[in-house]
């Protein structure tokens, strides 16, 4: 499968990204104390389907033996940094932070994005964690250009986060996207020799997604539901993600963040 996309495919992903941003924005606007996780999921799915898209996470299986993912949106609260189940009746509380990770298929191609937002008034440390995670994502976007290396993205992200002392999740990384939900190459948020050197080519579409832990520990565990990824130290986790297209004219965010 090609690592790159044609201009025509990128245009389709641009349309998909606009719809995805609209769906995520609708869910984010609904976030407040007393709203259930399932209500957020159901609204986002409604917007996707009304726009002609299909959820890419609903029914997703990482491998043939996996249990299919049961919701359209991954909704993660507090120490759940990613992959929280969106079909839960759990109600959000004042002071929570909630991550919403969402993907869709439109015209045969998929896009992917995520934000973490406050529920009512949250602590200063939670606010800073979300701000730094978002800014780290943008540093990665700025570092992506034709002829550069995937390592440049990892280095820009890590260097921005380090002075703040947050843990950069290592078990999960960004990835190529478009023809499949997850494609090569891996796009880590930290520099590691464990990942092969990959040059960024014209037409690459990448999902960049830093995940940070407030407590400084990068380690995570899988919850009993088999999907939710939680910070091992129990601290707050934050996650932001955009899909980008890297072209000769520059790098474009195909999934504009709604907030």
Q: Which residues are known binding-site members?
A: 83, 101, 112, 175, 182, 209, 241
Which residues are CB-contacts of 27 (< 8 A; sequence separation ≥ 6)?
40, 41, 43, 44, 73, 100, 102
Calpha distance 173→45 (Å, rounded): 25
Coil, strand or helix at 143: helix
- Please report, in range form, the residues annotated as the binding site for a divalent metal cation: 101, 112, 175, 209, 241
Contact partners, residue 200, CB within 8 Å, separation at least 6: 144, 145, 146, 147, 148, 149, 150, 152, 246
Q: Which alpha helices (DSSP H) does the chain contain, by range?
A: 7-30, 37-50, 124-143, 150-161
Task: Specify binding-site residues for substrate.
Answer: 83, 182
């Amino acid at each position: 499968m090609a690592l790159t996309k044609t201009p025509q495919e990128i245009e389709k992903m641009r349309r998909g990204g606009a719809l995805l941003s609209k769906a995520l924005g609708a869910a984010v606007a609904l976030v407040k104390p007393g709203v259930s996780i399932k209500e957020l999921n159901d609204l986002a799915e409604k917007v996707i389907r009304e726009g002609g898209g299909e959820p890419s996470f609903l029914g997703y299986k990482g491998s043939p033996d996996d249990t299919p993912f049961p919701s359209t949106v991954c909704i993660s609260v507090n120490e759940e940094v990613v992959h929280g189940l969106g079909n839960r009746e759990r109600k959000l509380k004042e002071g929570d932070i909630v991550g919403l990770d969402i993907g869709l298929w439109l015209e045969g191609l998929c896009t992917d994005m995520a934000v973490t937002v406050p529920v009512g008034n949250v602590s200063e440390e939670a606010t800073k964690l979300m701000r730094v995670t978002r800014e780290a994502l943008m540093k990665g976007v700025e570092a992506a250009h034709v002829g550069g290396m995937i390592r440049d993205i990892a280095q820009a992200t890590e260097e921005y986060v380090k002075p703040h002392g947050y843990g950069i999740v290592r078990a999960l990384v960004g990835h190529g996207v478009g023809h499949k939900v997850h494609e090569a190459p891996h796009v880590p948020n930290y520099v590691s020799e464990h990942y092969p050197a990959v040059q960024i080519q014209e037409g690459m579409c990448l999902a960049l997604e830093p995940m940070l832990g407030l407590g400084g520990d990068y380690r995570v565990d899988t919850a009993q539901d088999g999907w939710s990824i939680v910070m091992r130290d129990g601290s707050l986790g934050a996650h932001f993600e955009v899909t980008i297209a890297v072209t000769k004219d520059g790098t474009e965010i195909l999934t504009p963040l709604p907030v």
